Structure 1
Amino acid sequence: MHAVVDRVTRRIIDRSRLSRQNYLARMTELKSRSPHRNVLSCGNLAHGFAACHQDDKDTLKLMSKANVAIVSAYNDMLSAHQPYATFPDIIREAAHGMGSVAQFAGGTPAMCDGVTQGQPGMELSLFSRDTIAMSTAVALSHNMFDATLLLGICDKIVPGLLIGALSFGYLPGILVPAGPMPSGLPNKEKQRIRQLYAEGKLGKEELLEAESKSYHSPGTCTFYGTANSNQLLVEVMGLHLPGAAFVNPGTPLRDQLTRAATEQVIRLSRPQGGELGLGDMIDEKSIVNALVALLVTGGSTNHTLHWVAIARAAGIVIDWNDYAELSSVVPSMTRIYPNGEEDVNAFHDAGGTPFLIRELLDAGYLHNDVETVVGHGLERYTRTPAMDGDRLVWQPAPLKSLHPDVLSTASEPFAPDGGLKVLDGNLGRGVIKVSAVAREHHKIEARAVVFNDQNELKAAFDAGDLNKDCIVIVRFQGPKSNGMPELHKLTPYLGVLQDRGFRVGLVTDGRMSGASGKVPAAIHVYPEALEGGPLARVRDGDLISLDADRGTLSVVVDEAEFAEREPARPDLSAYHQDYGRELFGWMRRSVGTAEEGACVFWNHEA
């Protein structure tokens, strides 16, 4: 193992020792009582299989047969989740072929940040993760099940499914992806048209046409944002079948992978002699593997929140220093939009996750000695699925990248580090992703232009007030303020300013996620402004220093004067009412900080 990866892993193990032991002890006790269906009363059990076919009822009376819970984020409005409509029938058929049963245990919400971006619904987005976790727990609460298949793919959905399923971590579980849509309009062309629209050089009709050519069919969006980062990280943790992440929906291979996942989770169940649950497979080493995978691919900054929360659900405590230390040594091995020109389909065609895993294992950046859903050892994930006639087979990943400008080797990476930095200073603590930011923009010092509402920026842009070197402060966007929305509607305007030759940056207590691009953006800054964080005392014209290379974020103002300033206190009530936002007030009040995972379950726990 690489010395730094080993050191970070040992530190996490030491830090998590008590909480991890407590979690595993709870799961051991729960597992000792399974199958829980055995302790249901006759009335309980009759309710549990009342709607089943008689054959399934007869099977479920036998404790030696497995019942698989299907927990799905299906809906037919969102392209990434629409393919899941057909999965339950495939799963039930495969379970019957194994002499077992599969029941649709419950559905979870699935919202799309692409639809809600810049809209009031975006303020529910982060909290939908914890809502999904609770929905998953409700689905599994009937104690009818011996194994779980988790059907979800996008931003908050996979983390929510994992957090919820880890409460039932004595049960084995496999995540079942649906795959990305085929490639559409090139991402760089989409970005160009968005910037032309922001400048008023194109109309809405042309913009909609371009967007419709980008997002055009069932499947996940093809850029490397949070959704596709989810899939890669989950596969590197050994929670998918090998090579399953980026197979397109509606193909024979995709359906065969779903059947195979069903058969495999049944083999892992206690009625089939299995001993390991999801909580055994998600351990400190697999979490570190996920962080390494995030960093070498320039994945979504949202996972500086989500993987903290997932780890905590398994009794594991990680922090941003772990990310930063790993990022300083792991190589950057992919160029996937927004960190490059091509999309995840090109990455998959180049050799994809199996090639990446083999390279990282050989170079000592990933732990091989982990449990996966297909057995011990991550080397099992260096294989690629394929169809041999009507039969599913796995073959070794290609020896060389088939698209070397998209996927590199560990020995000849695109950059020597992972491009994620932690920033500290008198403005608070945050993160910045620089994998898509040109080196000359890693450090910027400019005067502040302060907004308390992201919608104010467009008006300032249109008025020409931002045609200068500046660092835009967009505050009161943290989880306690308004649910910590992503602020991507700002990106085209800031990109235009940078293209005009101005030195610009962004500092916010909100989010930018996997689509963070070429403008330096210090995000997730806390203490957030609503809690009296330093951002609340910044004024227009203050000199701001953002240095990604040194990891600093500061306001260059006399310390005593800055401390004496009265913090801004805007009226945020308009962001707490209507569009369902009033229902999430308790979450805003109880949520933890960004570095704690912005979670309502374990904030402020060590």
Structure 2
Amino acid sequence: MTLNTTVRDVTDRIIDRSRTTRESYLARMRAAGEDGPARAHLSCSNQAHAYAAMGADQDRLATTRAPNIGIVTAYNDMLSAHQPFGAFPDIIKDTARAAGATAQIAGGVPAMCDGVTQGQDGMELSLFSRDVIAMAAGIALSHNTFDAAVFLGTCDKIVPGLVIAAATFGHLPSIFLPGGPMTSGLGNDEKARVRKEFAAGKIDRAALMQAEMDAYHGPGTCTFYGTANSNQMLMEIMGLHLPGAAFVNPGTPLRDALTRAGTARILQNTALAGQYLPLCDILDERAFVNGIVGLMATGGSTNLVLHLPAMAHAAGITLTLQDFSDLSAITPLLARVYPNGLADVNHFHAAGGMPWLIAQLLDAGLLHGDVQTVAGPGLASYSEEPILTGDTLTWRPGPAQSENDKILRPHSDPFQSTGGLKHLKGNLGEGIIKLSAVAPEHRLIEAPARVFETQEAVIAAFRAGELDRDTVVVLRFHGPRANGMPEVHGLTPTLSVLQDRGHKLALVTDGRMSGASGKIPAAIHLSPESATGGPLARVRDGDVIRLDAEAGTLENLAADFAGRSPETLDLAAGHHGTGRELFELFRANAGPATSGASPLFPDGDAA
């Protein structure tokens, strides 16, 4: 199928925009790759320190030219999605030994859970944890004893942070090995219903707790299509997973077989194996365009609009919100997975999953099929699905048709003709809105503003009956420089109650809404942010705000709006406790949300 002209044009302008920084990045990667296996340049003392604890592998590391894999892991057993990774290093090491190679755990990275910190002070560390993860992974790989890298991570900020680090060490062949989603528990629609009933005071905390435990009940990612599962889609469609690996449940024979196969594959991609494939040759402009298209086609997480530019910066590539908007306009929505539908990711996988999705997007000319992947040249193999027969792992063509057209539809008959995200512009700044779960009748709202500086104040106003009318809730001073740009998804049940009462309602904020944002129209990531004197700091209670999500406009209609002085807020009290005092350097140097809100790239320019 001929490549869609918009996909081609957006790719070409990204290439042109990034030419200087991309060439500089590739020159650094080529120079590092030409040095050959890094540990060959270490002194005997350097190497002895690195191999001292390796037991039977010591001799192979010291005397042979067999590849050595560095494992960077986000394992902990507080996160359900990362608990399965505890078993992965042994599988990787055993597979490497069987191939005459070695593997070492290079280092661990932190992995926090937004589900635990949602609405809590710790959420203000969440976005910046991405950059901490990138730096921690960089430290792990800085020992220069590895011929390839394996990255173990799944959730919200973990995968983007690992990708930033992987791109920084882009001369190394690298692969991402996923853990998979937990099996299905309480349905997502039922979970949402219980949360709304609790917010409305109709049920007690015990009933709420039981529903939450029934929903989040075992190892693996949460089963809704939030940031964690959007990450897994992204890694597969960008060619950093093996085909069909994203949504296989943990603790299954197929999951273990894919882990072994991924290890074997990365060994084949090393320079010592004779078919050197560094990550920098996979993470190019076309791969990032494929990732954005996949995000739009599935109604993926709004958080990735922050993470993809930061990830691209690390590879010398600059993305803009206009790139997202233009690709969204020509990408049909092919998947309905909660919160954009009732199905969870296990249902999505059973209906055809990633092989079906990629085959459809390739057929529509919406993906670059000629990219390089960890599995080899071209994306066509990603329309195949893995199958385990006895102990033998093979791939077969994916399903010829969707197994459930309420979850997956062909590009010729999509759920809607455009993607799940929309770029917003106007006198309130620049931001985004996720439309895939917002009903058409809720996409245009013109109503008086009610201004808040904390989520607690919003909930208090709701309980006092002050929001029981058409309202645009403005939540400001929640950008990266103010307080680390926390998710404000905890407001969703409250705002949903108001919408269900028949009120016109929207949220406008310089904070994040989360990968689970749903039916409430939410203009998020507003930039410039309030803490830097952005337009939200000039909004007053009663100002009429007009949000037209279809047109992509966000305006304050007050006649004197442009001439007002911005309000200021003393944020110092919120910069202490729960580790927040350690992140002052990050807050002070964070870039704008439009370019990823990263302190590593504060000016928004590519590395």
Deviations 1:61-86 (A, max 9, x none): 24521000000000011100001111
Distance 2:5 2:240 in 1: 26
Matched, 1:589 2:591: no
| Counterpart mapping for 1:276-295 below 5 A | 276-295=277-296
Structure 1 counterpart of 2:312: 311
Q: In 2, Cα distance between the equivalents of 1:575 and 1:163?
A: 28
After TM superposition, list the pairs within 5 Å mapping 1:171-570 onto structure 2.
171-558=172-559, 561-570=560-569
Amino acid at match of 1:190: K
Distance (whole Å) between structure 2 residues aligned to residue 393 and residue 37 of structure 1 = 34
CA contact (8 A) 1:181 1:217 kept: yes
Amino acid at match of 1:302: N
Partner Cα separation in structure 2 for residue 42 and residue 262 of structure 1 = 28
Alignment correspondent of 1:16: 18
Amino acid aligned to 1:591: A
How far, CA to CA, are the matches of 1:411 and 1:272 in structure 2? 43
**SS of the residue 1:61 aligns to:** helix
- The residue that corresponds to 1:7 in the other structure is 9
Q: 2:37 aligns with which of 27, 35, 38?
A: 35
Question: Taking structure 1 as the reference length, what is the TM-score of the superposition?
Answer: 0.99
Q: Quote the Cα distance in structure 1 between the aligned partners of 2:492 and 2:16.
A: 40
2:320, 2:331 → 1: CA distance? Answer: 17
Kindly provide the amino acid, as one letter, of the partner of residue 540 in structure 1: D
Which residue of structure 1 lines up, in the alignment, with residue 62 of structure 2? 61
Cα offset for 1:314? 0.5
- CA shift at 1:567, angstroms? 2.0
CA distance in structure 2 between the aligned counterparts of 1:256 and 1:47, rounded to whole angstroms:
33
Residues 402-440 of structure 1 deviation map (CA, whole Å, 9 limit, x = unaligned):
111101111111100003111111111100011100101
* Pairing of 1:82-161 with structure 2 (within 5 A): 82-161=83-162
Instruction: Give the partner amino acid of 1:242.
Output: P
> In structure 2, what is the Cα distance between the partners aligned to 1:528 and 1:598?
11
Answer whether contact 1:38 1:63 (CA < 8 A) is retained: no
* Alignment-mate amino acid for residue 479 of structure 1: P
Q: CA deviation at 1:165?
A: 1.5
Matched residues in 1 for 2:440 and 2:604: separation?
Answer: 38
Secondary structure at the aligned position of 1:126 is classed as helix
Deviation of the 1:273 alpha carbon: 1.2
Q: Runs in 1 of length 4+ with deviation above 3 angstroms? A: none
Distance across 1 between alignment mates of 2:488 and 2:596: 18
In the TM superposition, what is the alpha-carbon distance from 1:7 to its structure 2 partner? 0.8
Partner AA of 1:553 in structure 2:
L
1:274, CA displacement in angstroms?
2.6
Tell whether the 8 Å contact from 1:351 to 1:397 is kept in structure 2 after alignment: yes
Conserved 8 A contact 2:67-2:146:
yes
- The letter for the 2-side match of 1:428 is G
Matched letter for residue 359 of structure 1: Q
User: 1:576 is aligned with what amino acid?
Assistant: H
Say whether the 8 Å CA contact 2:478–2:509 is kept in structure 1.
yes
Q: What is the SS of the residue equivalent to 2:211?
A: helix
Asked if the contact 1:242/1:385 (under 8 Å) is kept, the reply is yes
SS in 1 for 2:582: helix
- The whole-number CA distance in structure 1 between the counterparts of 2:601 and 2:281 is 20
CA contact (8 A) 1:35 1:63 kept: no
Aligned mates of 1:496, 1:605 — CA distance in 2:
38
Note the residue ranges of structure 1 that are not aligned, 5 or more in a row: none
Q: What is the distance in 2 between the residues matched to 1:48 and 1:601?
A: 29
Give, as a single letter, the amino acid of the residue that structure 2 aligns with 1:2.
N
Question: Is the CA contact 1:64–1:272 (under 8 Å) kept in the aligned structure 2?
Answer: no
Q: Aligned partners of 2:470 and 2:175: how far apart in 1?
A: 49
Q: Match of 2:109, as an amino acid?
A: T
Instruction: Provide the aligned length of Structure 1 versus Structure 2.
Output: 603
Give the CA deviation at 1:452.
Answer: 0.7
Q: Secondary structure at the match of 2:160?
A: helix
Q: 1:537 to 1:241 in 2, by over 3 A?
A: same
Amino acid at match of 1:593: P
Q: What one-letter code is carried by the residue in structure 2 that aligns with 1:579?
A: T
Aligned residues of 2:74 and 2:152 also touching (Cα < 8 A)? yes
The worse-fitting range, judged by mean Cα deviation, of 333-342 and 410-419 is 410-419
| Separation in 2, partners of 1:273, 1:128 | 37
- In the alignment, the residues of structure 2 paired with residue 395 and residue 154 of structure 1 have an alpha-carbon distance, to the nearest angstrom, of 28
Instruction: State the one-letter code of the partner of 1:21.
Output: E
| Whole-angstrom CA distance in 1 between matches of 2:331 and 2:569 | 42
CA contact (8 A) 1:63 1:271 kept: no
Post-superposition Cα deviations, 1:79-136, rounded to whole Å, max 9, x if no partner, equal: 0000111110011000001100000000000000000000000000000000000000
Indicate the SS of the match to 2:330: coil
**Paired residue for 1:51?**
53
**Secondary structure of the residue that 1:328 maps to in structure 2?**
helix
Q: Which whole-Å CA distance do the structure 2 matches of 1:160 and 1:227 have between them?
A: 13
- C-alpha distance in structure 1 between counterparts of 2:75 and 2:279, whole Å: 22
Please state how far the C-alpha of 1:465 moved relative to its aligned partner: 0.2
Q: For the residues of structure 2 that align with 1:236 and 1:403, how far apart are their CA atoms?
A: 21
Percent of aligned positions that are identical: 57
**Deviation string, structure 1 residues 498-521 (Cα, Å, up to 9, x no partner):** 000000000000001211110100
Structure 2 CA distance for aligned equivalents of residues 507 and 77 of structure 1? 33
Distance 1:571 1:192 in 2: 37
What SS does structure 2 have at the residue aligned with 1:515? coil
Report the Cα offset of residue 51 of structure 1.
Answer: 0.5
Task: Tell me, in whole angstroms, the C-alpha distance in 2 between the residues paired with 1:362 and 1:563.
Answer: 48
Q: Distance in 2 between matches of 1:47 and 1:512?
A: 46
Could you list the per-position Cα deviations for residues 533-565 of structure 1 after superposition, in whole angstroms to 9, with x for gaps in the alignment?
Answer: 11001010000010111111110011xx32342
Q: Which amino acid aligns with 1:597?
A: G
Tell me how far apart the structure 2 counterparts of residues 223 and 261 of structure 1 sit (CA, whole Å): 26
Kindly indicate whether the alpha-carbon contact (under 8 Å) linking 1:37 and 1:63 is maintained by their aligned counterparts in 2.
no
SS at match of 1:71: strand
| Structure-2 change in CA distance of 1:62 and 1:412 (3 Å) | farther
Q: What is the rounded CA distance, in whole Å, between the counterparts of 1:200 and 1:110 in structure 2?
A: 33
CA contact (8 A) 2:199 2:493 kept: yes
CA contact (8 A) 2:592 2:604 kept: no
Where structure 2 has 5 or more consecutive residues not aligned to the other structure, the ranges are none
Letter in 1 for 2:562: A
Letter in 2 for 1:51: A
Q: Deviation per CA, 1:426-472, whole angstroms, max 9, x where unpaired?
A: 11110001110010111100000000111101100000000000000
Distance 1:167 1:437 in 2: 38
SS in structure 1 of the partner of residue 185 of structure 2: coil
Contact 1:13 1:284 survives alignment (8 Å)? yes
Equivalent residue of 1:553, what SS?
A: strand
SS in 2 for 1:134: helix
2:81 maps to what in 1?
80
Counterpart code for 1:580: G
Alpha-carbon separation, structure 2, partners of 1:583 and 1:605: 23
Q: Does the Cα contact within 8 Å between 2:300 and 2:420 map onto a contact in 1?
A: no
Distance, in Å, in 2 between the alignment partners of 1:185 and 1:562 is 47
